[in-house]
Amino acid sequence: MGLNNQWMQRDLAVLWHPCTQMKDHEQLPLIPIRRGEGVWLEDFEGKRYLDAVSSWWVNVFGHANPRINQRIKDQVDQLEHVILAGFSHQPAIELSERLVAMTPAGLDRVFYADNGSSCIEVALKMSFHYWQNTGKPAKKRFVTLTNSYHGETIAAMSVGDVPLFTETYKALLLDTIKVPSPDCYHRPEGMGWEEHSRNMFAAMEQTLAEHHETISAVIVEPLIQGAGGMRMYHPVYLKLLREACDRYDVHLIHDEIAVGFGRTGTMFACEQAGIRPDFLCLSKALTGGYLPLAACLTTNKVYQAFYDDYPTLRAFLHSHSYTGNPLACAAALATLDIFEQDNVIQANQALAARMASATAHLADHAHVAEIRQTGMALAIEMVQDKASKAAYPWQERRGLKVFEHALSRGALLRPLGSVVYFLPPYVITPEQIDFLAEVASEGIDIATRDSVSMAVPKDFHPGFRDPG
């Protein structure tokens, strides 16, 4: 028995993995990873895999980055953790100062959480509580876009709309208002992204006009709906949404957990619309992919609504044990140093262009409906019929075939259903991008070689898919 198999057997005896049907591993070998370096992950038998999905979208400067490593090593000798209620520490203070300085003007307060879902919970609770504190208790509902994803805790699921994650738990979820997404994949023939996104805003305008007196906030994933299949839209939608939220006195929450820190081509996606949300949720790449940490930034106007004498009970009494952990804050500070010192956003422009050129040939593939890209995120949508964009039945798991082929070639490509995507660390080279494009092309050929083996059922919903 090889080392990989030994570790796999020990794992399967005790572990329950996330986002996984564990029975799959009766046929699909689990891959134990011994070490990482740069864009590479290495198993216990020495085989390497290029991490094309940044280990669930978190790693931006490579595995075992020496600069982040050193900052964490220095911090661990000073302070590993301290309660953040009534106490503070240097890394949390410095990180907060830098986040306030680098995000859109007016986001002046930072509240820490442990992960992305928890950060969304913070923003939702804070918005709801704000209206309670300011004498508008009727404002308690949230508006979200169809096909959106904001996490897997209860309130975060409530403002999501990917059935794979929400259908089972419908009885537990909040009553939210869903508005059609501006997703440009569904734009009419010949229509550009901006025009389609403008047109799709009409439904949001109508919803806010009719229900604003009971709406606390609108929450969106700006520019890219990640778990919904890397679906993308134009920044004009965000601009129109900001204007409407101001008119109707409704909060705007930007979930930049997946798209923040350069993924869309600017440091934050909201910059491309020239706007500032009332709540900006950040996580994932915040620590360079090292440690769990999330930050919810908001305005002094929101902060002041909670600032009062204790007996009024207006305080935001929300907490996590590891809130503002010093080691995580140190990793985040090192990550921000790299962004600042290495001119990363500009360097990424060349990498994004290489991703586009390396995959351009797939536009002619008989089973590729679209190649779409926003900055350092590129997605290739496989379909059974190119002209009608008819999707493959989710039960056929075409993306899984791409995943398995990529592993055989030494790449970690984990599609979202029938969407193959690149979301690599920013330290990837042009040659490594070419390699990924080659592997993806081969995988798509293999995955689409056979005709559809089952009829699409009447209740077919493309939201049921292999999670990424």
The three-state (H, E, C) secondary structure of 327-396, written as one string: HHHHHHHHHHHHHHHCCHHHHHHHHHHHHHHHHHHHHHCCCEEEEEEECCEEEEEECCECCCCECCCHHH
Degrees to nearest 5, angle at CA 136 with 134 and 138 = 150
Residue 57, sorted as left (phi over 0), alpha (psi -120 to 50) or beta, turns out to be left
Total count of residues recorded for the chain: 468
Q: 341 in the Ramachandran plot: left (φ > 0), alpha (ψ -120 to 50) or beta? A: alpha
* 149 labelled binding-site residue: yes
- Predicted confidence at residue 1, as pLDDT, reads 79
Is residue 135 marked as binding? no
Residues 337, 355 contacting (CB under 8 angstroms): no
Confirm whether residue 321 is marked as ligand binding: yes
In DSSP terms, 63 is beta-bridged to 38
* pTM: predicted TM-score of the whole model, two decimal places: 0.96
d(CA 403, CA 405): 6
Distance of CA 187 to the CA centre of its chain: 23
Ligand-binding site membership of 56 (annotated):
yes
Backbone angles phi and psi of 198, in degrees to 5: -60, -45
Q: Judging by DSSP bridges, how do beta strands 294-298 and 368-374 pair with one another?
A: unpaired
Low-confidence ranges of the chain (pLDDT < 70): 453-468
Quote the CA–CA distance of 464 and 467 in Å, as a whole number.
Answer: 9
Tell whether residue 57 is among the known ligand binding residues: no
Residue 50 pairs in a beta bridge with: 40, 411
CA nearest 144: which of 174, 112, 179?
A: 179
pLDDT at 430: 98
Q: Is 117 annotated as a binding residue?
A: yes
Chain-centre distance for alpha carbon 330: 22
| Beta strand extents in 208-338 (DSSP E only) | 215-220, 224-225, 231-232, 251-255, 279-282, 294-298
End-to-end Cα distance, the chain? 30
> What are the DSSP E strand ranges found in 221-287?
224-225, 231-232, 251-255, 279-282
Three-state DSSP at 279 gives strand
- DSSP structural state of residue 102: H
116 marked ligand binding residue: yes
Distances (CA, A) of 46 to 4, 31, 36: 10, 12, 11
CB 335 within 8 A of CB 160: no
Q: Is 62 left (phi over 0), alpha (psi -120 to 50) or beta?
A: left
* 319 assigned binding-site residue: yes
Q: Which of 25, 456, 54, 412 is nearest to 226 (CA)?
A: 54
Q: What is the model's pLDDT at position 452? A: 77
Which pLDDT score, from 0 to 100, does residue 468 have? 57
Alpha carbon distance 22, 444 (integer Å)? 25
What pLDDT sits at residue 460?
46
